[in-house]
Amino acid sequence: MGLISEVLLLPLAPVRGSAWAVRQALQEAERIYYDPATIQAELARLEEQLEAGEISEEEFDRLEDELLDRLETASRGSAGTGNGTTP
């Protein structure tokens, strides 16, 4: 039965391959999004924008809170899974 089902499902192979590629891209995007080094670089960039007067104090506080939440999520994920990719 395995061979028959493989032959019948052969037209769906491109869809399965595309789904795998999408999953891989999503995993990589999440890894980068929750990478502590990336978050710290964004925090530094945010502070530079505040000092240069490009953003207001309120906007800085809001964005800083979001970045710190991401950093906390990344820390919890790395403590629980060992790889830091699962928030």
Residue with the larger pLDDT of the pair 64 and 3: 64
Q: Does 7 map to a domain?
A: no
Question: Which pTM was predicted?
Answer: 0.66
pLDDT one-digit tens code per residue, 34-58: 999 999 999 999 999 999 999 999 9
Confidence of residue 87 (pLDDT cuts 50, 70, 90): very low
Cα–Cα distance measured from residue 21 to residue 26, given in angstroms and rounded to the nearest whole number? 9
Confidence of residue 86 (pLDDT cuts 50, 70, 90): very low
Q: Does 63 map to a domain?
A: yes
Is residue 41 within 8 Å of 79, Cβ to Cβ?
no
CA distances from 5 to 2, 14, 59 (A): 5, 16, 56
Q: Does 50 map to a domain?
A: yes
Q: Does 26 map to a domain?
A: no
State the pLDDT at residue 1: 56
Q: Does 61 map to a domain?
A: yes
- In one-letter notation, the amino acid at residue 29 is A
Q: Does 75 map to a domain?
A: yes
State the pLDDT at residue 14: 83
For residue 74, give its domain range: 35-80
Q: Does 24 map to a domain?
A: no
Q: Does 64 map to a domain?
A: yes
How many domains is the chain partitioned into structurally? Answer: 1
Token digits of residue 31: 């890894």
